[in-house]
Amino acid sequence: MFKKVLFTGLCFLMIYSTAVVGYRIFEPQLDTHSPDEQAYIEYDTLNDYVLSGSEGAIYYLFFYSKINSDCAYVKNTVLNIVQNETKLEINKLIDTVDITELERSMSVSRLSSEWGINSYPAFAAVSIHDGIPQVDSKLEWNNDEMLNALDIELWLIENGLYIGTAQDIEPVETPE
């Protein structure tokens, strides 16, 4: 009797092990990047990206870190409100610059020294003058007055990306 129970137990163990190993081999891989993340510009390549354009070309940039909650709020909440209000496809108008590695290595001061961006998330209109990138207009995160949809809509109008009037958009409160 003991042999039969032991044999049955071993058979179940073998079947279970085979199923687990088979599942692990053929397990579907998770795609951890959203489709728009593949279009991000790495910060270290930003200068070359901007300089690849012609004299007078204007680049509209969104400085974004994947590990910063303020950036996530602007990207996932505020920009969605702006898209709904303006009917613009923001991700086609504005290039997203990934500054995650700057934040991880605690070298975000490079943003200020290289691009004049003192806080992020931030939006910037950059053009090339005499072969040098120059920030023409910027909109930065401020802890006292966080970016809201109206701020971004006014920045879009100021930079000629949206023709219309800024509407009275109620700012969305950030969750505490």
Q: What is the pLDDT of residues 87-100, one digit of tens each?
A: 888 888 889 988 88
Beta partners for residue 60, in sequence order: 125
Distance (Å, rounded) from C-alpha 128 to C-alpha 152?
23
Structure tokens at 11: 């058979």
Determine contact, residues 60/159, Cβ cutoff 8 Å. yes
Show me where the domains of the chain are located. Answer: 35-158
Contact between 109 and 47 under an 8 Å Cβ cutoff? The reply is: no
35-158 belongs to which homologous superfamily? Glutaredoxin (3.40.30.10)
List pLDDT tens digits, range 72-92. 888 988 899 988 888 888 888
Among 28-37, 43-52, 159-168, name the one with the lowest average pLDDT: 28-37
pLDDT band at 167 (very low <50, low <70, confident <90, very high): low
- Sequence-distant (≥ 6) Cβ neighbours of residue 140 within 8 angstroms: 117, 118, 119, 120, 122, 123
Confirm whether pTM is higher than 0.85. Answer: no
Work out the average pLDDT over 49-77: 87
Work out the pLDDT band at 31, boundaries 50, 70, 90: very low
Give the position of tokens 């930065």.
140
pLDDT tens per residue, range 132-157: 888 888 988 888 888 888 888 988 88
User: Mean pLDDT highest for which of 12-16, 28-32, 108-112?
Assistant: 12-16
**Residue of 105, 86, 101, 108 lying closest to 40 (CA atoms):** 101
Contact 153, 123 (CB under 8 A): no
Closest CA to 59 of 25, 95, 89: 95
Q: So what's the pLDDT on residue 176?
A: 47
For 13, residues 6+ apart whose C-beta sits below 8 A from its C-beta are none
Q: What pLDDT, on the 0 to 100 scale, is given for residue 115?
A: 83
pLDDT of the residue at 28:
61
14 compared with 34, residue with greater pLDDT? 14
State the burial class of residue 46 (Cβ atoms within 10 Å of its Cβ: 0-12, 13-18, 19+): buried
